[in-house]
Amino acid sequence: MKKKFINLPLLVSRTLMTLTVCTLLSILAVVVVMIMSEMKVQQPLAIKQAEFLTIKPGTSFNAFSKQLVNKGWLQERFWLRSYVKFNPQDSKIKSGTYQVQANMSTAVLLNLVVSGKEHQFSITFIEGSTFKQVLAQLAQHPHITHQLANLPLATIAKKLSIEQDNPEGWLFPETYAFTQNTTDLSIIKRAYEKMQSVLEVQWHNRAENLPYKSRYQALIMASIIEKESGRHTEHPRISSVFVNRLNKKMRLQTDPTVIYGLGERYQGDITYAHLREKTAYNTYKIKGLPPTPIALPGAQALRAALQPELSEYLYFVSNGEGEHIFSKNLADHNRAVTKYQRKKN
């Protein structure tokens, strides 16, 4: 009986060939998946208009990919999950709220959420607004976390470390950017710090012999100037009128302070009875400045309060076209009032 001999070299060769083929096929499959996943993430998401995407703290990449599918932005997540296996650095997503633009690719979205560059919302405080108007504006913003609702002004002032019980005038009017769920308190803290900074610079550069005993009095004056005219070019001259009147111990007699003192009772017209009513803000009845600012003054009004024009003017009246006519004496002022009031009527 003949014995069968196993050809070991041939068997080894075939085995090695089989392993080589399997290895090459595996490598080819990996390369194909890698190339396909790269191609897939470069394709645009199924989104036709800008939308917000919020990733909650602790969200895994797996949950993130499900979120994209649930939103209908991706049909399936196989290619996205495959992609991050080859690019693990792109799986390190950060929580936050991001704005996803129309036709944005998955790759660009990944770069965005990995970078942590959240969408910046914004809110603008307008020059001449009151503190209460700012609070109402904050309360209406859907992306702000509200902590100040229904709090008394004195409580808010304390939270801001403002010395006065009434925080009026202490917020600098400009546009503030913030991310989703920023608190209203943190935003007005920024506005308060900005006002302190701007006021300090203007106070340091102030003209000589001004009738202010403190920065706060300058802030009060700036708020009055702000409410008297929307034309920044007029602010230094209006400031000179008020400074001249204070230096001469004359009452300011400015309508915006009367209106502020009336509060919700003001219905659009100042009556003779209003001018006769002695409130803390009726500058037709009190001497000097009112006890607090009456609005948010802007940079121009602050500069005008502390660097007024040099003039001899003591009066001014609106010409009904957004500008004012200035006079050095009461007779000229009365003639201007008669002329422009008649024109108005």
**42-64 average pLDDT score:** 92
pLDDT score recorded for residue 31: 59
Among 4-8, 106-110, 247-251, 301-305, the range scoring the smallest mean pLDDT is: 4-8
Quickly state the pLDDT bin for 27 (edges 50, 70, 90). low
The predicted structure's pLDDT at residue 64: 94
Q: What is the pLDDT of residues 277-332, one digit of tens each?
A: 888 999 999 999 999 999 999 999 999 999 999 999 999 998 888 889 999 999 99
pLDDT of residue 21: 61
The structure tokens listed for 152 are 């008394």
Place of tokens 């993430």: 41
Compute the distance between CA of residue 93 and CA of residue 191 in angstroms, rounded to an integer: 32
| pLDDT band, very low/low/confident/very high, at 219 (cuts 50, 70, 90) | very high
What per-residue confidence (pLDDT) applies to 274? 87
Helix axes 131-140, 184-204, angle to 10 degrees: 150
Pairing of strands 182-183, 144-145: parallel
Bridge partners for 122 per DSSP:
177
Domains of the chain with CATH codes: 41-119 (3.30.1490.480), 121-197 (no CATH), 211-344 (no CATH)
| Residue 98 and residue 52 in contact, taking contact as beta carbons nearer than 8 Å | yes
Asked if residue 96 has pLDDT above 90, the reply is yes
Q: Round the average pLDDT of the chain to a whole number and report it.
A: 89
The per-residue pLDDT for range 162-203, each reduced to its tens digit, is: 999 999 999 999 999 999 999 999 999 999 999 999 999 999
Give the model's pLDDT for residue 32.
63
pTM: 0.83
**How many degrees, rounded to 5, is the angle at CA 152 between CA 257 and CA 157?**
75
Residue 342 has a pLDDT of: 63
